[in-house]
């Protein structure tokens, strides 16, 4: 029975982060032209952040966005705004400390303008929320879901702001941190990597020229991604236990340690912003669909950031869910019907499996400190440099141009 306070919506998105907000934008046409009703429930207060003028921050976290994702943003009508703060990746340089092997993937060689783009996460959020703000949707923020109850067709949600929703399709895009997945009895596989990613912006002494570096060291991979200007985003992965010490170092000592670990191929590190450490695990939900429910983004899969694939994979999930909804509506299916969600699952399965295997495989291959393996890895990297077609295939996959 529907209570008087209960609002019926076709779709409720739990979590207005990068993935939930992208899904909202991807459904804009259905909302504006076909009357689809949508509610977004977001725990963090976002309104104030949107009201303030944009201040580029040296400390902002940024993500590598594949060309395929840029195309999806174009389809969503937000790429033009995203591109204002995007730094193109013209070359990817992969190397291993102490080995000769190095491989370069160049945009020009592949006939594309860029291999990908690096965009501050806060800017992406701002652009997506700006678009969401133009849509007639029920925006519950700040609010969380207190109770979730499966119904014959959909779910009933009771919110912390007093709201009650009955949704045909509920999308869990809460980053996996709300406990809702567990309350619904959806189990996850979790394998800690015993590694931590230390993230910071660094300034380099010479123009980066759009080069993204991935350097494998015995301690773990170091990625440097080009940002606008002379700054680069550092993702320094190392064994758990080192982070406290590295976070506590003075800026000068930290920069010197980074220089020793990375070498000088990017120039001299001159300045570092706020440092944050993220413990790393591979987490995958055992179920990503149920009647009336889909799990997206980090709630479905949280990957090692070495290959910069997490959000790119999630955005393809967003596009596939919308495609399954569109196909279902042509067959007069309700949004959360098993047929729609099985169609979505069928579209996702191999991509999700391949990307998880690819990034997990990189960690296993480069994370082991076995001298024989090191030679094999170096040979592999050099081989990669020689074998053009294979390298091109890898590059096209990393760019999101091929599955
Ligand atoms: C160090 C690091 C570097 C990375 N670099 C890259 C990269 O270069 N490229 C790439 O593609 N990916 C990268 N990723 C992965 C990428 O950050 C994630 O895939 C992406 O942020 C997932 O977005 P999400 O919306 O699923 O989750 P989140 O970003 O966690 O968003 C979840 C949202 O849900 C809200 N929420 C939580 N609980 C509730 C609740 N109970 N009710 C309502 N709302 C709730 C939160 O406030 C938040 O806004 C990186 C990840 C890490 C850790």
248 Cβ closer than 6 Å to some ligand 1 atom: no
Same domain, 224 and 353: no
For residue 15, the model assigns a pLDDT of: 96
Q: Quote the ligand 1 centre to 164 CA distance (angstroms).
A: 25
Same-domain status, 139 and 233: no
| Local confidence band at 215 (pLDDT 50, 70, 90 cut-offs) | confident
Strand partners, 280: 195
Q: How far apart are CA 25 and CA 271, in angstroms?
A: 37
Residue 403 lies in a domain: no
Least confident of 24-33, 323-332, 380-389: 380-389
Tell me: pLDDT of 195 over 90.
Answer: no
Reduced to 3 states (helix: H, G, I; strand: E, B; else coil), residue 51 is helix
Is residue 354 situated within a structural domain? yes
* 42 and 164 assigned to the same domain: yes
Question: In terms of residue numbers, what domain contains 228?
Answer: 67-120+192-280+367-398
- Of 13, 14, 15, 318, the residue with max ligand 1 atoms within 8 A of its CB, to mutate for a pocket test, comes to 15
The strand order across the sheet containing 116-120 reads: 62-66, 116-120, 87-89
pLDDT digits (tens, 9 = 90+) for 62-82: 999 998 999 999 999 999 999
Using the predicted structure, report yes or no on whether residue 85 has a pLDDT greater than 90.
Answer: yes
Residue 108 shares a structural domain with residue 201: yes
200 against 385, higher pLDDT: 200
Give backbone dihedrals phi and psi of 297, rounded to 5 degrees, phi first.
65, -145
Residues 253 and 324 in one domain: no
Question: Is residue 268 located within the same domain as residue 329?
Answer: no
CATH number at residue 289: 3.50.50.60
Alpha carbon of 176 to ligand 1 centroid (Å): 9
Give the residue ranges of DSSP H helices in 60-120.
Answer: 67-75, 79-83
Q: Which residues contact 317 (CB under 8 A, 6 or more apart)?
A: 19, 296, 297, 300, 348, 352
Give how many domains the chain has, as a whole number: 2
CA of 297 to the centre of ligand 1 (A): 7
CA distances from 73 to 42, 139, 169 (A): 21, 22, 23
């Amino acid at each position: 029975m529907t209570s008087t306070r209960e609002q019926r919506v076709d779709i409720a998105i739990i979590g207005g982060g990068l993935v939930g907000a992208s899904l909202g934008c991807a459904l804009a046409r259905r909302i504006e032209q076909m009357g689809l009703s949508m509610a977004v429930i977001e725990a963090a207060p976002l309104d104030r952040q949107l009201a303030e003028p944009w201040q580029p921050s040296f400390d902002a976290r940024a993500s590598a966005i594949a060309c395929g994702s840029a195309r999806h943003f174009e389809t969503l009508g937000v790429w033009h705004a995203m591109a204002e703060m995007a730094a193109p990746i013209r070359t990817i340089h992969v190397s291993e400390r102490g080995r000769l092997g190095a491989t370069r993937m160049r945009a020009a060689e592949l006939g594309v303008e860029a291999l990908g783009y690096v965009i501050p996460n806060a800017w992406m959020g701002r652009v997506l929320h700006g678009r969401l703000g133009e849509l007639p949707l029920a925006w519950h923020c700040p609010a969380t879901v207190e109770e979730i109850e499966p119904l014959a067709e959909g779910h009933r949600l009771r919110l912390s702001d007093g709201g009650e929703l009955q949704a045909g399709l509920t999308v869990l895009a809460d980053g996996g941190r709300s406990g809702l997945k567990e309350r619904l009895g959806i189990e996850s596989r979790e394998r800690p990597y015993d590694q931590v990613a230390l993230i910071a912006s660094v300034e380099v002494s010479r123009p980066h020229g759009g080069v993204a570096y991935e350097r494998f060291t015995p301690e773990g991979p170091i990625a440097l991604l080009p940002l606008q200007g002379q700054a680069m985003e550092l993702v320094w992965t190392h064994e758990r236990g080192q982070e406290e010490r590295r976070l506590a170092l003075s800026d000068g000592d930290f920069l010197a340690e980074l220089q020793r670990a990375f070498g000088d191929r990017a120039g001299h590190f001159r300045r570092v912003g706020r440092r944050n450490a993220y413990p790393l695990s591979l987490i995958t939900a055992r179920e990503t669909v149920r009647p009336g429910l889909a799990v997206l983004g980090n709630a479905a899969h949280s990957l090692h950031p070495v290959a910069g694939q997490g959000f790119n994979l999630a955005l393809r999930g967003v596009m596939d869910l919308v495609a399954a909804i569109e196909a279902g509506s042509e067959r007069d299916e309700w949004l959360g019907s098993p047929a729609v969600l099985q169609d979505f699952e069928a579209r996702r399965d191999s991509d999700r499996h391949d990307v998880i295997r690819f990034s997990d495989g990189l960690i296993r291959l480069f994370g082991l400190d076995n001298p024989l393996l090191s030679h094999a890895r170096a040979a592999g990297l050099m081989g990669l440099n020689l074998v053009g077609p294979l390298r091109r295939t890898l590059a096209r996959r990393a760019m999101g141009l091929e599955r």
